[in-house]
Amino acid sequence: MSHKTTTIEGRECFVFASGQPLYILIQPLGAHERSLFDHTAQLIADEAGVPFALAAFQVFDWNLDLTPWHDDAISRKPEVGTMTSDTLRHVTEALLPVLEAEYGKIPVILGGYSLGGLFALWSASQTERFAAVAAASPSLWIRDWLDFAKEHPVKAEKVYLSLGDQEEHVKNRAISRVGDSVREEYELLKVLLGSENCTLVWNSGNHFKDADKRLSAAFAWCIKALEAGKKV
């Protein structure tokens, strides 16, 4: 399995497509994730059961591109927290039109790992463009996330959350909030979407274990959940 590489609005993009896709999957691609892309795509294909297109767009600066507002615990650079709207605009106004021109206007799933998962959840609160969100080990420990989530609910139909069972057991006080934050986010989603339309999966290990497996499981669940919704 291999991907093709293109450049869209100055950002490199990896694209893998199987058959005639029924879903478009989008994820931010950090430098640390490039070597994992093909394996992630293969894992999704093994589990999803239907054809899809997976597109991963280049992230120039992981913190700057994906952090929705400033938090010193993420970065002390004052510009961090100012560029996420531009990242979302790239997805909706540059990347998606290219993908839809090739694969058609089919349901779109936005996902990511860590700050990528945070970006996906935040983006789904800004637009109805995404049918589902695949948030694997999302950085919901960011300051004021739950206040934001209560005021800005996601507009997606399905949401997948996951977390490693050791992620909250760290000395960093800010990051240690992640377990309670993810649990409360899940409770908000159950009220908003119904328990059948969201899930929270606990994985073994810390934040740095099996990122490709966690992200592929998130995307595969979203595909299956949307497929199940067609049969209702």
The DSSP bridge pattern shows strands 24-29 and 108-113 to be parallel
Q: Would the pLDDT of 1 be above 70?
A: no
Q: What is the mean pLDDT of the chain?
A: 95
* Alpha-carbon dihedral 39, 42, 47, 48, rounded to 10 degrees: 120
At 62-108, the pLDDT tens digits run 999 999 999 999 999 999 999 999 999 999 999 999 999 999 999 99
pLDDT value, residue 91: 98
Distance (Å, rounded) from C-alpha 137 to C-alpha 118?
A: 9
Report yes or no on whether pTM surpasses 0.85: yes
CATH of residue 206: 3.40.50.1820
Q: Would the pLDDT of 32 be above 70?
A: yes
The DSSP bridge pattern shows strands 53-58 and 11-17 to be antiparallel
Q: How large is the average pLDDT for residues 128-153?
A: 97
Q: Which domain holds residue 50?
A: 4-230
At 141-199, the pLDDT tens digits run 999 999 999 999 999 999 999 999 998 999 999 899 999 999 999 999 999 999 999 99
pLDDT value, residue 174: 87
Distance (Å, rounded) from C-alpha 35 to C-alpha 157?
A: 31
> Where do the H-state alpha helices sit in 104-210?
115-126, 145-151, 178-193
For the chain, what is the domain count? 1
pLDDT value, residue 102: 95
Q: Which residues contact 64 (CB under 8 A, 6 or more apart)?
A: 75, 77, 79, 80, 82, 83
How does 112-141 read in b/e, with b if 16+ C-beta sit within 10 Å?
A: bbbbbbbbbbbbbbbeebbbbbbbbbbbbb
